[in-house]
Amino acid sequence: MPTTPAPTGFASVPHRFAATLSARYVGLRQLPELGWRITLVSDAEEATAAATAALKAAEEAADLRKWKAVEAEAEPECILTDLPADVVQHIVVRLTLAHHIARAAPTCKVVSVAARNAMKVRPFSGEVVALAGHTDAVLCVAAAPDVGIVTGSDDSTVKVWRGGACERTIQAHASWVNAVAVLPGGARFVSGDDDTAMLWTPDGALERTFEVGSRVLCVAALPDGMHFVVGLDWPTNKVRLYHVDGTRVHTFKGHALPVRAVAVTPDGQHIISGSEDELVKVWSVATKSRVSTCKGHTQWVNAVAAMPDGQRILSGSVDKTVRVWLLNGTLKNTFQLHTHIVNALVALPDNQHALSGSTDSTVKLFNANDGAVLRTFMHHTREVTSLALLSDGLRFVSGSADKTARIAYHGLAP
């Protein structure tokens, strides 16, 4: 049973709906001799398993006349026709992108019912929620269940948002706010500007100020909720690890130019840093030593992210590429997803996909294994500066030079 490429998009179709469903695509396929059918096409193993499951369900429903397994003359395929809504739902919910489920809904009554039920399992909306209120570029975003969404801006303010509305504006920084990070547990968040990092409670109370010695360009929280790291501007060019009680735990030295990006692996064992020196470095939290140096970018590294498996690193650069590395510094892949500078990256929970934000004003949903772009989001009018994943795993927030942050569904299963 060979794999058949699926066309993309939907068209107006008659009541007997034909959809080709595969691991990554959804579209229409018309078989004139059979009319419009619901067709599942994937690799042979997956298609066979799906057909077996569907036929078993039909037998249990004692309604075999509603099912047919046929073989097209030119291309052998597994075709399931006139399926009950609950079985269609079972097939539709397996689509990689939830927005494909949503787009299937208007086609006919059976698919509409199935899609609505599938969306209860895979919540999705095409709506983009704009968080408007800053008077200058939104430079950084962070999110957590108890805190909501935190944004920092060129207007020197930090804003806390809940339910799409600004709940609090903090005016404590002397210059633009380059970095924000929420500590796991949601009890506190950190913001950084010229020479200082500030620790806040969700209600906007300043708990502590950290004099870090140089402009804070980036910040990331460790999973223990008690530590965070900052990346510093020239002339310091260092990564510093702090405890929330004010203790400077360690200074990681090795970059020759400003540190533009930091991230922490999910297990909290490694810190990742990216710099204007075109290098990505991996540091051990336990030994306070450098694990590896990733060489390959030809211009500044603006963004880094750790994949959920804790073994792979993503980096984005002024050279317009996204690169995938192993912790030991081995380069696995180089992707050119954007037409301009890559400013932001965030890995998704499935360990297969990630989001990238660029000066070309777009956010890309891509496969971290092969670089395939599944979706391109164009809801900003100027460069995308920052990205963060919301706690539901289904939505992300992006910050932009257009003075807004925007919330959207990425469309993958959590």
The superfamily in CATH containing domain 129-409 is YVTN repeat-like/Quinoprotein amine dehydrogenase (2.130.10.10)
Tens of pLDDT, residue by residue over 65-79, are 333 333 233 333 333
Under a CB-based contact definition with an 8 Å cutoff, are residues 311 and 269 in contact?
A: no
Strand 19-21 versus strand 38-40 pairing type: parallel
Using DSSP, state whether 83 is helix, strand or coil. Answer: coil
Under a CB-based contact definition with an 8 Å cutoff, are residues 277 and 231 in contact?
A: no
Give Cα separations from 297 to 315, 336, 375 (angstroms).
9, 12, 25
What pLDDT is attached to residue 100? 66
Tokens of 408: 């959207």
Q: Is the dihedral of CA 62, 63, 69, 70 positive or negative?
A: positive
What pLDDT is attached to residue 85? 60
What pLDDT is attached to residue 97? 73
Average pLDDT, the chain: 81
**Closest by CA position to 57, among listed 28, 94, 84, 96:** 84
What pLDDT is attached to residue 144? 85
pLDDT confidence band for 206 (50 / 70 / 90): very high
Instruction: Report how far residue 365's alpha carbon sits from residue 177's, in angstroms, rounded to the nearest whole number.
Output: 27
Tens of pLDDT, residue by residue over 268-277, are 999 999 999 9
Q: Over pLDDT 70: what percentage of the chain?
A: 73
Under a CB-based contact definition with an 8 Å cutoff, are residues 299 and 318 in contact?
A: yes
ω into residue 235 within 30 of 0, thus cis?
yes
The one-letter amino acid code at 260 reads R
Indicate the domain borders of the chain: 19-121, 129-409
Tens of pLDDT, residue by residue over 133-182, are 999 999 999 998 877 999 999 999 999 999 999 999 999 999 999 999 99
Burial of 117 (0-12, 13-18, 19+ CB in 10 A): middle
Under a CB-based contact definition with an 8 Å cutoff, are residues 159 and 133 in contact?
A: yes
Instruction: Please say if the pLDDT value at position 370 is more than 90.
Output: yes
Tens of pLDDT, residue by residue over 17-47, are 233 332 222 222 332 332 333 443 334 455 4
Mean pLDDT to the nearest integer, 193-217: 94
Instruction: Report how far residue 143's alpha carbon sits from residue 268's, in angstroms, rounded to the nearest whole number.
Output: 18
What pLDDT is attached to residue 110? 59
Tens of pLDDT, residue by residue over 330-355, are 999 999 999 999 999 999 999 999 99
Instruction: Please say if the pLDDT value at position 238 is more than 60.
Output: yes
Using DSSP, state whether 120 is helix, strand or coil. Answer: helix
One DSSP character per residue, 347-412 reads E-TTSSEEEEEETTS-EEEEETTT--EEEEE---SS-EEEEEE-TTSSEEEEEETTSEEEEEE--B
Element (H or E) spanning 165, and its range? strand 165-170
What pLDDT is attached to residue 2? 31
What pLDDT is attached to residue 1? 28
Mean pLDDT to the nearest integer, 41-69: 44
